């Protein structure tokens, strides 16, 4: 299962027996309790979603159990707000398309059809925290469904694209351009953005992390 906090690639702790290590971890202040995953999208309707400032939803529809944007789509935000969580979705882009997932409505994970933009800076590639954190590997699959997994705890983020870890436990230092909510002390929504194109999402889930 997706657990970047335990699969960190840290050096082996030779002086602490394995069993004792996990006992200590379970009772440590940094151990987190994970809730059951919640569906953010039911595959049938736009229930649980809204546009910014309560405006009517524009440019988003449901087709074949997919959440689909049109070129004139406005940003779509979840009604519920989240603090620490594991987020997962599948997305598909056509050639030259791009979009975003904003974490807590503040930190932009960029979705980009990388082959169409070979000269894009690495910190703007698919899976990046836009203009802040670059993916360490290229694992985007053009013209196919791509699986995205993100863990956000405080401002520490891990991103997996198609089961390849592209950002591992890195600190997000700044609000992203276009942040919906700038109060970093509070929980915030998941925000989906289509940048003048038709982007498709499905299987959107979130698992809250309490602790």
Task: Answer whether 52's CB lies under 8 Å from 75's CB.
Answer: yes
**Class of the 34-210 domain?**
mainly beta
Per-residue model confidence as pLDDT tens digits over 119-174? 999 999 999 999 999 999 999 999 999 999 999 999 999 999 999 999 999 999 99
Give pLDDT, residue 1. Answer: 47
Give pLDDT, residue 59. Answer: 96
CA-CA distance, 17 to 153, in Å (whole number)? 27
Residue 29 has pLDDT above 70, yes or no: no
Q: In the chain, what are the domain boundaries?
A: 34-210
Average pLDDT estimate for 10-27: 42
CA-CA distance, 186 to 183, in Å (whole number)? 6
User: In 10 A of CB 157, how many CB atoms?
Assistant: 22
Task: Answer whether 32's CB lies under 8 Å from 5's CB.
Answer: yes
What the block records as the tokens of 41 is 């999208």
Give pLDDT, residue 103. Answer: 98
CA-CA distance, 209 to 103, in Å (whole number)? 14
Task: Answer whether 145's CB lies under 8 Å from 91's CB.
Answer: yes
Give pLDDT, residue 5. Answer: 42
Residue 80 has pLDDT above 80, yes or no: yes
Give pLDDT, residue 123. Answer: 98
Per-residue model confidence as pLDDT tens digits over 31-69? 456 789 999 999 999 999 999 878 899 999 999 999 999
């Amino acid at each position: 299962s997706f657990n970047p906090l335990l699969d960190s690639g840290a050096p082996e702790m030779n002086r602490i027996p394995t069993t004792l290590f996990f006992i200590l971890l379970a009772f440590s202040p940094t151990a987190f309790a994970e809730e059951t995953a919640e569906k953010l999208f039911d595959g049938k309707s736009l229930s649980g979603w809204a546009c910014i400032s309560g405006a009517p939803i524009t440019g988003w529809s449901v087709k074949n159990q997919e959440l689909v944007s049109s070129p004139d789509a406005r940003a779509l935000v979840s009604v519920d707000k989240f603090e620490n969580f594991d987020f997962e979705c599948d997305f598909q882009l056509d050639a030259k398309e791009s979009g975003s997932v904003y974490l807590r409505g503040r930190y932009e994970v960029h979705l980009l059809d990388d082959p169409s933009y070979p000269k894009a800076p690495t910190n703007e590639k698919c899976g990046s925290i836009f203009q802040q954190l670059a993916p360490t590997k290229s694992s985007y699959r053009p013209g196919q469904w791509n699986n995205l997994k993100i863990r956000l705890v405080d401002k520490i983020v891990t991103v997996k694209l198609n089961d390849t870890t592209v950002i591992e436990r890195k600190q997000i230092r700044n609000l992203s351009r276009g942040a919906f909510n700038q109060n970093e002390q509070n929980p915030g929504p998941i925000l989906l953005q289509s940048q003048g194109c038709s982007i498709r999402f499905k299987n959107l889930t979130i698992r809250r992390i309490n602790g």
